[in-house]
């Protein structure tokens, strides 16, 4: 997947939203914050069979045309959801992109979700500034919205998150904890790797 978004974002002052990138907190600190609610968990979908850009050829609603979760990805998604439940982290709204690997991750991890096109990729192989802005404008309002209950979980992809934050989320299954400021901005507090949730148990 493309990893050039950070250069384009920081090279174009108008592209970045009013976000603040905090010094990264520990997993235990992040879990403690999540237990209090009011945060957004941006979860990149779980592991897929292969890793390639499919946003041009993919037909939404037809998983046969898209990258899908691998057997390990199914296990990973269930493990992440199980860990969040075991840690008593309150979860409210769960939102996924329309790609199969994202909503499958949401379903396996949490058993419920709603889909939105706002989390989808721009349908281009080589992103223009307009494509980056499109993805940013889709993701930024979602991660800056203050949850009405518990923590909001967003299950999405790498490039749209990078477009909104300047951070490339890796590996697959990684989660970023975001604190909305209530005024349309947000602060990225840190990341929890797919195998790191157990560190706080």
pLDDT reading at 7 higher than 70: no
Per residue in 138-160, pLDDT tens? 999 999 999 999 999 999 999 99
Question: Mean of the per-residue pLDDT values for the chain?
Answer: 89
pLDDT score recorded for residue 98:
97
Q: Which residue has the higher pLDDT, 51 or 101?
A: 101
Assigned token pair, 114: 């709603």
CA distance 96 to 44: 10
Q: Which residue has the higher pLDDT, 1 or 108?
A: 108
pLDDT reading at 3 higher than 50: no
- Beta-bridge partner residues of 44: 156
pTM of the model: 0.89
Contact present, 175 and 41 (Cβ < 8 Å): yes
* Closest to 140 in 3D by CA, of 113, 161, 124: 161
Residue with tokens 């235990």: 28
User: Class for domain 5-200, per CATH?
Assistant: alpha beta
Mean pLDDT of the region 168-178: 97
**Which letter does DSSP use for residue 189 in this model?**
E
Contact present, 158 and 41 (Cβ < 8 Å): no
Of all residues in the chain, the percent with pLDDT exceeding 70 is 89
How far the first Cα of the chain sits from its last, in Å, is 33
């Amino acid at each position: 997947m493309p990893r050039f978004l950070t250069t384009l974002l920081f090279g174009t002052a108008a592209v970045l939203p009013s976000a603040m990138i905090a010094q990264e907190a520990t997993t235990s600190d992040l879990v403690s914050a999540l237990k209090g609610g009011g945060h957004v968990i941006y979860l990149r979908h779980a592991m897929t069979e292969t890793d390639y850009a499919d946003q041009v050829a993919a037909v939404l609603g037809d998983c046969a045309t898209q990258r899908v979760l691998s057997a390990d990805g199914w296990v990973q998604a269930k493990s992440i959801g199980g860990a969040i439940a075991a840690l008593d982290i309150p979860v409210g709204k769960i939102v996924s992109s329309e790609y199969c690997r994202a909503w499958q991750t949401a379903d396996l991890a949490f058993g419920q979700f709603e889909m939105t096109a706002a989390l989808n990729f721009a349908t281009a192989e080589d992103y223009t500034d307009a494509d980056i802005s499109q993805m940013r404008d889709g993701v930024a309002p979602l991660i800056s919205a203050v949850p009405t209950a518990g923590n909001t979980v967003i299950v999405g992809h790498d490039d749209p998150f990078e477009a909104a934050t300047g951070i490339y989320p890796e590996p697959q299954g990684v989660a970023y904890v975001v604190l909305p400021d209530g005024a349309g901005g947000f602060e990225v507090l840190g990341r929890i790797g797919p195998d790191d949730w157990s560190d706080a148990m």
